[in-house]
A and B are shown apart, each in its own frame.
Chain A
Amino acid sequence: QQQVKQSPQSLIVQKGGISIINCAYENTAFDYFPWYQQFPGKGPALLIAIRPDVSEKKEGRFTISFNKSAKQFSLHIMDSQPGDSATYFCAASWSDKLIFGTGTRLQVFP
């Protein structure tokens, strides 16, 4: 019940395309859902986050869509750029802890 399932494991997108990463959870006590971006050899950095009382949040080219009834949320990267090539992690917060998905390696080709 503490798991966050993330898919796909890897994603290849052409420059200018839309990248979509999906996550699902079971525990309805989760109350905060962040996405992190990690470049090789670096620590993860917060990208965007959402709370379950909101169905969508947009920041620049990054959008989180949240479906509370389906217990699913996704990250959409519009106009994907080669600089977006990184590993993306979804997470869910519960009791001062974050439960992370297994990560998606995104490669954006020119």
Chain B
Amino acid sequence: SQTIHQWPATLVQPVGSPLSLECTVEGTSNPNLYWYRQAAGRGLQLLFYSVGIGQISSEVPQNLSASRPQDRQFILSSKKLLLSDSGFYLCAWTRRTDTQYFGPGTRLTVL
């Protein structure tokens, strides 16, 4: 069966510090991978998605970036965090069946 992991689970970072969030998927190969952000009490905003290694599509211009160094690894990064980057970050995968499966999320607080 497939499993998706995200870490860390929670993170508190000062404004201007760098960020690295990691997502890995087990039990499948060549998945589509997605990063979403969810602000408190709000819906899900698609940030990036990837259909293969090194292939990244950005949906919303901002100070975040994404990379996919391995088939089942997706990383979300920032060089300098802003207060507005606070939120709940979710990784998801699909094996081209439309259904997306979400990870447990990372709660990021920027102070």
Tell me the dominant secondary structure on chain B's binding face: strand
**A42: which B residues are within 8 A, CB to CB?**
104-105
The reply to whether the CB of B27 lies closer than 8 angstroms to some CB of chain A is no
Count, chain A residues at interface, CB 8 A: 21
Instruction: Give the interface centre of A34, A49, A97 by most chain B CB atoms within 10 Å.
Output: A97
Question: In the complex, what distance in Å separates the CA atom of A101 from the CA atom of B42?
Answer: 10
**How many Å from the CB of A52 to the closest CB on chain B?**
12
**B94: which A residues are within 8 A, CB to CB?**
96
The reply to whether the CB of B21 lies closer than 8 angstroms to some CB of chain A is no
Given A32-B98, A49-B99, A97-B49, answer yes or no on A103-B104 (Cβ-Cβ < 8 Å). Answer: no
Given A41-B107, A96-B49, A96-B51, answer yes or no on A46-B101 (Cβ-Cβ < 8 Å). Answer: yes
The reply to whether the CB of A98 lies closer than 8 angstroms to some CB of chain B is yes
Contact A103 B51 (CB under 8 A): no
**B92: which A residues are within 8 A, CB to CB?**
43
Partner of B44, one of A45, A89, A96: A89
Residues of A within 8 A of B (CB): 31-32, 34, 36, 41-46, 49, 89, 93, 96-98, 100-103, 105
Residues of B within 8 A of A (CB): 32, 34, 41-44, 46, 49, 51, 90, 92, 94, 96, 98-105, 107
